[in-house]
Chains A and B, each alone.
Chain A
Amino acid sequence: MKCSEQIIDYMHEYLDEEISEEHEKILREHLQSCSDCQEYFRELNKSIALVQSTSHIQAPDDFTSKVMAGLPKEKKKTEIQR
C-alpha cells in the first residue's frame, strides 16, 4: 500500500459512519484518482457485505424447553443466589 495510512483511517471512519465532511471530501477525491485505494476500499466493503450476508439462523425448536429444564429448582433458589 503506497498511499498514506491516513486514507485508510478515513476509510474506517467512513465505515464507522463517523467521518467528518472534511475527511470524507479528501477520501472521495483520493479514491477518484487512486485505483489502488479504490480496490482496497472495495475489498473492505465486500468483506463486510459477505459477513452480513450470512443467513440469520434460528435456535432449535426445543431450545426454550431445554433451558427451562436446566434451570435450578425454584425451592433451591435461595441457595444458588449469591
Chain B
Amino acid sequence: METIVKHRIKQVIKGDQNAYGEIVEVYKDKVFQLCYRMLGNRHEAEDIAQEAFIRAYININSFNQNLKFSTWLYRIATNLCIDRIRKKKPDYFLDAEVPGTEGLTMYSQVPSETPLPEDEVESIELQDAIQKEISKLPDKYRSVIVLKYIEELSLNEISEILDLPLGTVKTRIHRGREALRQQLRHV
C-alpha cells in the first residue's frame, strides 16, 4: 500500500492533481474516523478531515518521502483536531441537551447522512455512551487512546505522529486507560 501511495505522491509533486484523489481514497476512512473519535461529531470530523487532506496537499513538498505518509497525515489531522478542541466555544455542543426537551440532543436534530441498518440501532446507545466518555478525556489522553485503540497504531508510530518521546506516550496511555477505567467501569 505504501509503495502505491509513494508513487502517487511523486506524481502529485510533479503536478498531477488527480493522483491525489487516489491518496485521499486510501486514507479517507482512517482520517475521518480519527477526527470523529477526537471531536465527537460527524460534521466537525468531516470538516477537519477535509482540511487535513488539503493541508497535506499544500505542504506535500515538505513531506519526507522516506517516512510513512500515513504517519505524517495523521500528525496533521491530530494537530488540527487538538486545535479545534481548544478553540471550541463552550456554548456550542451538539450533544448538549436542547432546552425544554428530555434526552433530545442537537445531534438528533441534525439529519443523519447515512441510514443505519436495524441491527446497529440496538447498540447505538452504547456506542454513544462510549463516545461520550472518550470525549470527556483531556485531549492529550484522548489522542493517544484513539490512535492506540481505534486506529490500532503502535506506540512507536504514535510517538512519531504526536512528536513526543515514547516514554511520554506510554505515560499518557496509562493515564488515559486509568481515566477510562473509572469512566467506563459501570457502563
Flag if B131 contacts A54 (CB, 8 Å). Answer: yes
- What is the interface of chain A mostly: helix, strand, loop, or mixed? helix
From B24, B29, B59, B130, contact of A56 by CB (8 A): B29
Flag if A54 contacts B50 (CB, 8 Å). Answer: no
From B28, B150, B173, B185, contact of A59 by CB (8 A): B28
Also in contact, A53 and B53, with CB within 8 A (given A59-B29, A60-B46):
no
- Of the candidate stretches B13-21, B67-75, B78-86, B91-99, the one touching chain A is B13-21
Which chain A residues border B123 with CB–CB below 8 Å?
55
A23 to chain B, nearest CB (A): 15
- What is the interface of chain B mostly: helix, strand, loop, or mixed? helix
Flag if A67 contacts B184 (CB, 8 Å). Answer: no
Flag if A64 contacts B61 (CB, 8 Å). Answer: no
A22 within 8 A of B: no
From A15, A16, A60, A70, contact of B113 by CB (8 A): A60
Flag if A68 contacts B21 (CB, 8 Å). Answer: yes
Also in contact, A47 and B28, with CB within 8 A (given A12-B174, A54-B150, A59-B49):
no
**Which positions 1-53 of chain B face chain A at CB distance < 8 Å?**
15, 17, 20-21, 24-25, 28-29, 31-33, 36-37, 46, 49-50, 53
Q: Can you list the 10 inter-chain pairs with the closest CB atoms, starting with the nearest?
A: A59-B32, A47-B180, A47-B184, A59-B28, A43-B185, A12-B174, A67-B53, A64-B24, A51-B149, A43-B181
Chain A interface (Cβ < 8 Å from any Cβ of B): 12, 15-16, 40, 43-44, 46-48, 50-60, 63-64, 66-68, 70-72, 74, 77, 80-82
Chain B interface (Cβ < 8 Å from any Cβ of A): 15, 17, 20-21, 24-25, 28-29, 31-33, 36-37, 46, 49-50, 53-54, 57-59, 61-62, 113-114, 120, 123, 126-127, 130-131, 134, 145, 149-150, 155, 170, 173-174, 177-178, 180-181, 183-185, 187
